[in-house]
Every structure is written in C-alpha cells, then in structure tokens.
Chains A and B, each alone.
Chain A
Amino acid sequence: MTGRFTFSDNQKFKSILDMVRAPDRPVHTVDLDLSKLEFVDSAALGMLLLLKDECATRNISLTLLNPRGQVEKMFELSRFQTIFNIVD
C-alpha cells in the first residue's frame, strides 16, 4: 500500500476483500507492506479491522508490515499492536 488510505478508498479496499474471499484462489496469508503508506484515517483503521475479521473467519494469517510516521502513530493510538500482528 502506498500514499494515503482514507475514507474515500473504500472501493480499493473492497478489491482486497474480494481477493481474500475468492473461492477459486484460496489465500493462506496476507502481508500488507505499509512502509510507503503516508496517511491513514479512522475509516481506514476500521477497514483494516474488517479485513482482520474476514481473515480470521477464513483462517488466514494477516500481518501488517513496517508502519511508519503518521500511520504508526495512529496504530499506537488505536492500540493496534494488541489486535494485529505488526512486524517492523
């Protein structure tokens, strides 16, 4: 993921959800590289929680990689380290 991930990116996020759900191409792990993501808002955090629930339902491992700057700060405020597997 790169740039900004905000409220208005719900369609792009839906495409990630669709990939996770695709029955013809089963997914076992999802690693999101966030090192080039510059900004997230509260809606984006909500979408990540939605993805986590979707992955948990399908027994898929989800990892958030290398959050930086404002993204890391928002994860801290939202206590995401207690909810997600976050790897630096």
Chain B
Amino acid sequence: MPLPANRPPGLLRLLKGCGKTRATFFYIFRDTANLEYAITVPCRWLIELDASHQNPHPTSSAETRGTHIFALSITSRSAYQLPVAYILARRFNRLGWLGPDQVSGFESCLHEALINAVVHGNLEIAGGFNGNDAFAAFYDSIQSKLHTPEYGERRIYIILSHVRKRLYLRVSQSGVGHPENRQPDALDQQHGRGLSIIRHLTQGMQWHHHGRTLEMCFAKMPENPLVLRDPAP
C-alpha cells in the first residue's frame, strides 16, 4: 500500500520491550531526500524504508560487541549518493563520542568502508580501475547497478557501539563478502587503497560474517573517557 503523500519526513516509533533499561526509539523514514534530515534526529536507531516499504531491523544481520549507541539502516543508493560519513562524524563529535582531532579520520574510515561495502559488496562490482578506459567503464557500471532495484536497494548497516575506552564501528552489507584473509593493497595503486587507509587510521580492523561486515576500532574521546551522552529523546 502506498504511503500518503503528505506524510512527515519520518515516523518516530516506540517499540516496546526493545530496550533493557529504557524505551528505544526508532526513526523510520523513506527515500534519500529525507536522509540528511533524518540523520540529525536525536534517535539511536534510524531506518530507511525501501521501495517495498520494508524496514529491516538495523541489527538483523550483525550482532555487535559492547553497548549499542547508534544504528542506521539504509539502501545502497542512499549510502553512495549522500554524505553519510560527513554527517555522522560531526554528529558523533557533537555528542561527545569523538574528539575534534578524531573527526576527519573517523569520517575517512566510515566513507571508505561504505564505498567498499556498496560497490564491491552490494553492487558486486569486483576490483577497481587501471587506466582511463577502465575508469569510465567502472563508474558506468556503478551507476547502472545503483538504479537496478535488485542491487541499489540492498541494505547497508552502520552500527556504533562502545566497550570501555573504545568505540567499535561496524559497516555491514548484504551482497558479496570480502575475502577475510586478503591483505590491504598497496597505497600507491590506482585502486584498492581504501582498506589500507582504514588500517592506518584505526586502532584495528576485523572482518566478520564471511567478509560482509567490517569492524573498525577507535579510541573514545580522551578528554571524556567514561561519559557517553545519550542521544535518545
């Protein structure tokens, strides 16, 4: 059934029994036009509806370690087209979870992990480009698959949790898994540099779920090691 045309950008839903010590709010929204607004909503769980109006639970594909503090479930198309990493890194900084000097590194890692998950995972496009002809073909292939519902609406999950003095960021996809034992490529290649950058900018990275989830570890904001402000309304 189609959603009413005059519906608000998103729906705030309280799912009873989802939280252990307090109610958990889910903010559910539709299409990329509302994503930039939705990401600013002070809610722990953000879920983008896809064309079939399904709203899969953001943790349905990946258990996490420690205490959840944020989860986002979006389509591949939104993850590719919108500045998700830019917005989230600044949101986490405002909430006191990341220090000012951590923002750009966190943004770089989340951005690289998202692009890797969308292009090589959900869109199933192998490798990258070497040379100008391959460059054009590579990007044509991405655009083509992004607009194919079978690929473009596959889910991307971003989950942030914390354990003691560390933040764990997980990016999961539902397509082809990355070879878990593959070493990051050399930094001076024309492609394949993203995982090397993540390795350099994090305290550690690890593959889970047959290469469909990449977990990255960051230090919690050093000036405020024990307090995490809760974004729930």
Contact = CB atoms under 8 A, between A and B. Distances in A.
Contact of A10 (B80, B135, B189): B135
B222 interface: no
The 8 A-B pairs with the shortest beta carbon distances in the complex, nearest first, are A42-B193, A42-B194, A70-B104, A78-B187, A46-B190, A10-B139, A49-B190, A77-B200
A6 B83 CA distance: 10
Given A39-B104, A73-B104, A78-B193, A7 B115 contact: yes
Interface string B43-81: 000000000000000000000000000000000000011
Nearest to A46: B190
Interface residues of A, number: 28
| Chief secondary structure at chain B's binding surface | helix
B107 A77 contact: no
B92 interface: no
A74 B129 contact: no
B191 interface: yes
16 contacts: A7-B80, A8-B80, A10-B135, A10-B139, A39-B107, A41-B108, A41-B194, A42-B112, A42-B115, A42-B194, A49-B189, A53-B131, A69-B104, A74-B197, A77-B187, A78-B197
B128 A8 contact: no
B150 interface: no
Contact of A83 (B135, B188, B191): B188
A14 interface: yes
A21 B184 CA distance: 33
